[in-house]
Amino acid sequence: MDDLFAPKPAPAPAPKALSVTQLVRRMKNLLEIELGELWVEGEVSNLKKQASGHWYFSLKDDGAQIQCAMFGARKKAGSEALDDGVKVRVFAEPSVYEARGQLQIIVQRVERAGMGELQARFEALKRKLQAEGLFDPARKQPLPSFPKVVGIVTSDTGAAIRDILNILERRAPWVQPVLYPVRVQGKGAEIEIARAIERMGNPEKYGIPRSDVLIVGRGGGSIEDLWNFNEEIVARAIAACPIPIISAVGHEIDFTIADFVADMRAPTPSAAAEIAVPDGEELRNRLALLKRRLSRRAEDRLERLAYTLENLRRGVLSRGGERLLREPVLRVDSARSRLNSAAESALRDHGQVLKELARTLAAHHPARQMQLRFDHLQRLRGQLERASHRRLDRAEERLMRLRSLLRTLGPESAFERGFSIALDSFGRIIRSRADVSPGDIVRTKVKDGEIRSVVE
């Protein structure tokens, strides 16, 4: 009874609740402190570039996605790699957007996925080839000063070949370009490039005009686009080529293994064309300048000689000068004769060179090449026809032998020897008495026909 009137204990105080802001802030602090900055890899989607310079996007894989923010994106390393659908690695700090309680990461730097692996492969191959001496300047060949044929190994559809041909035409229209078209990116392109270099280095074997210098390259692109020129097979083909090679891969900032092995590296395909051939206009200007200098020196020399001659005329020549001039006149006549002979010889040599060039041009003219191909096809056609006739003759002989054998072993030969074959009304061969019954019709085949009879 006393317990009924005892004072009740005071209720326990309610636990203190966190505000939403406090909870979100605690979550944010926990993420930033516990995880810190780290690398995350995934595929970019929903990329939005704000006018403020801040970029927002999602990073996802097969199982999840997370929101990303990149403040002042254009100033951050690797931002140019961001695009919808591209797989990237980002260096970022996990955080929480407090206003929405949304998990996100703050991106500081971006790389294309696989860049680290590609760079490691690049450095490993570079060290290997350098140790073998493939980069040694002593093994590199000098470029010819005045090439007549320039070989080009690149794509026949890219901008690089158009730039190269335009510059060759502008600077040195007398040069003959020879294009060996290849794929310059994608799986297996490095095999095509290496094979093209090997064949251009041994042109007579493959019916290709011999080049004085080769340009190997392509236009700009990502490291993945240029990667075929970082393959070992291409590097070794360049090193083994007996013709000097100019590597022209990508832009000025791009470096590939091919650049280190080649005899000369050009920052762009256009620059490679400028390196390969001299500038015709500049040569003409230099020749004109030399001509003017030579003319001035000759005129000065003649003026000095005239002045000396005038002095002599007034002095010694006035007293029997004809005798003194005999020897110089003879020397002048001899020099004139030698000069005429040298000029005629030079003209003959140049004429012979022009004839050789004309014959070379005629031999490589498209009409001549087409005629050679046509003659070759005619020879092949004749060989095919003769082979076909021989094959048909052998088949006919074999058929006749088989026909003779059939006559010898077939049923007709048995009929000729007096044998016959008994058949029932359904055309089945009768082999024993059990195959027929009384009243059955029997057909007996003999040499000259058939006999019908009834079984009794």
pLDDT tens-digit map of 14-23 = 677 878 888 8
pTM: 0.47
Mean pLDDT of all residues in 321-334 = 74
What whole-number distance in Å separates Cα of residue 178 and Cα of residue 147?
12
Contact 126, 186 (CB under 8 A): no
Least confident of 108-112, 113-117, 142-146, 181-185: 113-117
pLDDT for the residue numbered 132: 93
Predicted confidence (pLDDT) at residue 30 exceeds the cutoff of 90: no
Contact 215, 151 (CB under 8 A): yes
pLDDT for the residue numbered 114: 64
What whole-number distance in Å separates Cα of residue 262 and Cα of residue 301?
49
Mean pLDDT of all residues in 129-155 = 94
Displacement of CA 390 from its chain's centroid (Å): 45
Write down the residue that tokens 């190997």 correspond to.
216
The pLDDT confidence band at residue 257, using thresholds 50, 70 and 90, is very high
Tell me the one-letter amino acid at 375.
Answer: D
Mean pLDDT of all residues in 407-426 = 74
The burial of 71, by beta-carbon neighbours within 10 Å (0-12 exposed, 13-18 middle, 19 or more buried), is given as: middle
Give 407 or 102, the one with higher predicted confidence.
Answer: 102
Residue 413, C-beta contacts closer than 8 angstroms, at least 6 positions apart: 407
The pLDDT confidence band at residue 1, using thresholds 50, 70 and 90, is very low
Give 445 or 58, the one with higher predicted confidence.
Answer: 58
The pLDDT confidence band at residue 237, using thresholds 50, 70 and 90, is very high
Predicted confidence (pLDDT) at residue 218 exceeds the cutoff of 90: yes
Mean pLDDT of all residues in 176-198 = 94
pLDDT for the residue numbered 318: 59
Residue (of 119, 368, 128) closest to 239 by Cα position: 128
The counts of H helices and E strands in the chain are 12, 13
The pLDDT confidence band at residue 196, using thresholds 50, 70 and 90, is very high
Least confident of 103-107, 185-189, 419-423: 419-423
pLDDT for the residue numbered 215: 96
Give 153 or 431, the one with higher predicted confidence.
Answer: 153
Mean pLDDT of all residues in 132-138 = 93
Mean pLDDT of all residues in 42-54 = 89
Q: Highest mean pLDDT: which of 313-317, 363-367, 438-442?
A: 438-442
Contact 245, 257 (CB under 8 A): no
Half-sphere exposure of 334 (CA within 13 A, CB side): 6
% of the chain residues with pLDDT over 90: 36
Three-state SS at 63: coil
Mean pLDDT of all residues in 274-300 = 89
Least confident of 146-160, 192-206, 251-265, 319-333: 319-333
Both structure tokens of 237: 């083909």
Residue-averaged pLDDT of the chain:
86
Predicted confidence (pLDDT) at residue 32 exceeds the cutoff of 90: no
Both structure tokens of 287: 């020749």
**Any idea of the CA torsion for 200, 206, 210, 213, to the nearest 10 degrees?**
-10
Predicted confidence (pLDDT) at residue 170 exceeds the cutoff of 80: yes
